[in-house]
């Protein structure tokens, strides 16, 4: 038996609201297939199953607000390598009774046990100041405790989070989610920053020649070259491709590049381009186009939001030359690219005009130091000088 | 031979394609000689998608070197009318 849990779909997600099940009890589900739609602060996300099997039980109900890690469904697994393992498991380890999901039906019920509300003194003070009845709120702290953030959220958005939300409301919440993640990053992660200027002459010339031979539907954008260069450079400096968990960095075997995509209504998401080091430039371009389209349409998949192992942000489109980003926890590094600009450049003892690009690295000093970070940027530079081998 | 579409028709076709790429943009108040990028906040991915859409809609080849010619509404209309004649 496998438990299907509410996944973490972002650094600061504490819970999600089940919008609908995509499957019924007794249905077959394949690994990677969508099992449910979950509303987070950012968007409605298609959540994928991690296992193949038959849906034994659907525990949570649409409208439920469900903390991360709560059992939402039980799946009877199929295709285990040996039947013995599967059966002995189900005999010796029956699934623990799932914790009940929190429910926000009327907003009137107090989230914790009868009596005094679980609430920090700071939250209590703020609630009093803003005239908010805390008993109508859904606490997101430990054991449903109402936190300062819950009160802040309640002053700008309705308390009943299970209600469908409008675009403006979602935007306000997205801002808060970004604020929480970035504040946590700056509080917990000792950032260091490095930058280097890269001569893009070869890369751009190669790209121009390549695109000239390709029909318009198969052309590449130069940002795909940058993403691939980052992915390959991470093989050389793998400690930057890691996630911080329980006081230490765990390296990731696979390279999933989170790509910062700005949304037109405001805000941004950074979903993953999976296995970017193993894809050809054409495949990467296709996936990138698809990802941007779906990010803007609000139809991202759960795995894309939950598993980037590093983030790349390009602000060149906005005309800036340099960007020093804030690391997206639990990642330990972020790469920033500015705009390609023509600058005087010394090559073979002569000053010549060259298209150049500023690449930066923001990295977690608990995990790496400037020496390794510098090596990583130098490797990106080296790779971009051989665009044909990307 | 069918009658070639009028400039008005071509214009509304182009605006429809733009609207599909930037659904929240108001294309009715678009200034015909100012670049789409500046008015509609298109990035290079959007612009590439727009060029692909023009290619599919009007069955024309657009080499990358010609992209700048398609950056305004007037530019598009000139190119499309030249491609037809």
- What's the ipTM? 0.86
For chain A, give the percent of residues with pLDDT over 90.
Answer: 48
Last residue of a domain, one of A92, A127, A149: A92
Residue A318 covered by a domain: yes
Considering the domain architecture, whether residues A237 and A362 belong to the same structural domain is answered as yes
Q: Which residue has the tokens 């779906």?
A: A294
Report the chain B residue with the minimal C-alpha distance to residue A217: B52
Cα(B40)–Cα(A45) distance, rounded to whole angstroms?
27
Q: Are the beta carbons of B44 and A292 separated by less than 8 Å?
A: no
Cβ distance of A212 and B24 shorter than 8 Å? no
Candidates B18, B39, B48: best to mutate against A (most CBs of A within 10 A) is: B48
Cross-chain residue pair A211–B51, CB shorter than 8 Å: no
User: Is the Cβ pair B52, A292 closer than 8 Å?
Assistant: no
| Nearest chain A residue (CA) to B37 | A317
A368 pLDDT higher than 90: yes
Inter-chain residue contact B22 with A264, CB threshold 8 Å: yes
C-alpha span between B57 and B54 (Å, rounded): 5
> Which residues of chain A make contact with B44, given a CB cutoff of 8 A?
221, 223, 317
A65 and A209 fall within a common domain: no
| B4/chain A closest Cα distance in angstroms | 25
Shared domain check, A194 and A79? no
Contact criterion met (CB < 8 Å) for A289 and B44: no
> Alpha-carbon distance B36 to B54, whole Å?
14
Span A349-363, average pLDDT: 97
A365 and A221 inside one domain: yes
Beta bridge partners, A244, equal A249
The answer to whether the CB atoms of A212 and B64 lie below 8 A apart is yes
How many separate domains does chain A show? 2
The pLDDT of residue B4? 66
Q: What is the pLDDT of residue B53?
A: 94
Q: Which of A92, A113, A137 is the last residue of a domain?
A: A92
- To the nearest whole Å, the CA of B75 is away from the closest chain A CA by 18
Query: Measured between CB atoms, which of B43, B55, B65 is closest to A216?
Result: B55
CATH of the domain at A246: 3.30.559.10
| Run of H or E including B7 | helix B7-21
Q: Please name which of A161, A21, A25 lies closest in space to residue A103, comparing C-alpha atoms.
A: A161
Q: What is the pLDDT of residues B15-36, one digit of tens each?
A: 999 988 888 777 888 899 999 8
Do A234 and A368 have their domain in common? yes
pLDDT digits (tens, 9 = 90+) for B59-74: 999 999 999 999 999 9
How many pairs of residues across A and B have Cβ atoms under 8 Å apart? Answer: 29
| Residue A121: predicted pLDDT | 65
Whether residue A88 sits in one domain with residue A194: no
In a domain, A329, yes or no: yes
Q: Is residue A279, in this structure, part of any structural domain at all?
A: yes
In chain A, residues with a C-beta closer than 8 Å to the C-beta of B41 are 264
Q: Do A208 and B49 count as a contact with CB atoms less than 8 A apart? A: no
Domain boundary among A92, A116, A135: A92
| B83–chain A Cβ distance below 8 A for any pair | no
- Confidence at residue A161, expressed as pLDDT on a 0 to 100 scale: 40
Interchain CB distance below 8 Å, B44 and A223 = yes
Q: What is the dihedral of CA B60, B65, B67, B69, to 10 degrees?
A: -90
Which of A208, A216, A221 lies closest to B52 in CB terms? A216
- A335 in the same domain as A197: yes
Average pLDDT over residues A274-288: 97
Which of A215, A216, A317 is closest, CB to CB, to B44? Answer: A317
Residue A98 is assigned to a structural domain of this protein? no
Question: CATH number, domain at A86?
Answer: 2.40.50.100
A364 within 8 A of A386, measured Cβ to Cβ: no
Looking at residue A100, its pLDDT comes to 42
Residue from A264, A284, A318 whose CB has the most chain B CBs within 10 Å, to mutate:
A264
Q: Tell me whether B60 touches chain A (CB under 8 Å).
A: no
Residue A61: domain span: 2-92
Rounded Cα distance, B10 and B83, in Å: 12
A282 located within any domain: yes
The pLDDT of residue A113 is 39
What domains sit in chain B, N to C, each tagged with a CATH number?
A: 7-84 (1.10.1200.10)
Model pLDDT for residues A150-179, shown as the tens digit of each residue: 766 665 443 334 445 566 777 788 888 889
The torsion angles phi and psi of A261, rounded to 5 degrees, stand at -125, 120
**What span, in angstroms and rounded, lies between the C-alpha atoms of A156 and A174?**
12
The verdict on A238 and A357 lying in the same domain is yes
């Amino acid at each position: 038996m496998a438990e299907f849990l509410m996944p973490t779909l972002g650094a600061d997600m504490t819970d999600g609201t089940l919008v609908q099940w995509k499957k019924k009890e007794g249905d077959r589900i394949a690994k990677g297939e969508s099992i449910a739609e979950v509303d987070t602060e950012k968007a409605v996300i298609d959540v994928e199953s991690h296992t193949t099997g038959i849906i034994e039980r659907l525990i949570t109900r649409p409208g439920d607000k469900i903390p991360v890690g709560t059992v939402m469904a039980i799946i009877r697994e199929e295709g285990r390598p040996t039947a013995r393992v599967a059966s002995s498991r189900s005999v010796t380890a029956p699934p623990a009774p799932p914790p009940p999901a929190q429910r926000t039906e009327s907003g009137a019920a107090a989230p914790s046990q009868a009596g005094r509300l679980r609430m920090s003194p700071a939250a209590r003070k703020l609630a009093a100041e803003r005239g908010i009845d805390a008993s109508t709120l859904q606490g997101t702290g430990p054991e449903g405790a109402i936190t300062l953030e819950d009160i802040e959220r309640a002053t700008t958005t309705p308390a009943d989070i299970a209600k469908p939300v409008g675009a403006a409301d979602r935007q306000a919440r997205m801002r808060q989610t970004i604020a929480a993640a970035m504040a946590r990053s700056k509080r917990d992660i000792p950032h260091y920053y490095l930058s280097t200027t890269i001569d893009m002459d070869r890369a751009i010339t190669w790209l121009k020649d390549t695109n000239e031979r390709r029909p318009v539907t198969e052309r590449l954008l130069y940002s795909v070259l940058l993403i691939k260069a980052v992915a390959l450079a991470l093989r050389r400096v793998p400690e930057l491709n890691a996630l911080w968990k329980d006081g230490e960095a765990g390296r990731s075997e696979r390279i999933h590049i989170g790509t910062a995509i700005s949304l037109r209504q405001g805000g941004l998401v950074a979903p993953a381009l999976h296995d970017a080091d193993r894809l050809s430039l054409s495949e990467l371009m296709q996936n990138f186009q698809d990802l941007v389209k779906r990010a803007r349409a609000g139809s991202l998949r759960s795995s894309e939001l939950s598993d980037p192992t590093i983030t790349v942000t390009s602000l060149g489109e906005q005309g800036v030359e340099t960007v020093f980003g804030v690391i997206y926890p639990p990642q330990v590094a972020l790469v920033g690219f500015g705009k390609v600009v023509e600058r005087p450049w010394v090559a073979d003892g002569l000053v010549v005009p060259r298209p150049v690009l500023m690449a930066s690295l923001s990295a977690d000093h608990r995990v790496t130091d400037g020496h390794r970070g510098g090596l990583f940027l130098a490797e990106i530079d080296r790779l971009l000088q051989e665009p044909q081998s990307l | 031979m069918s009658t070639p579409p009028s400039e008005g028709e071509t214009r509304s076709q182009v605006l429809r394609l733009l609207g599909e790429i930037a659904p929240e943009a108001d294309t009715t108040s678009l200034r015909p000689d100012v670049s789409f990028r500046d008015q509609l906040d298109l990035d290079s991915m959007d612009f590439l998608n727009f060029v692909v859409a023009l290619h599919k809609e009007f069955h024309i080849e657009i080499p990358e070197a010609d992209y700048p010619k398609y950056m305004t509404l007037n530019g598009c209309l000139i190119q499309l009318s030249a491609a037809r004649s």
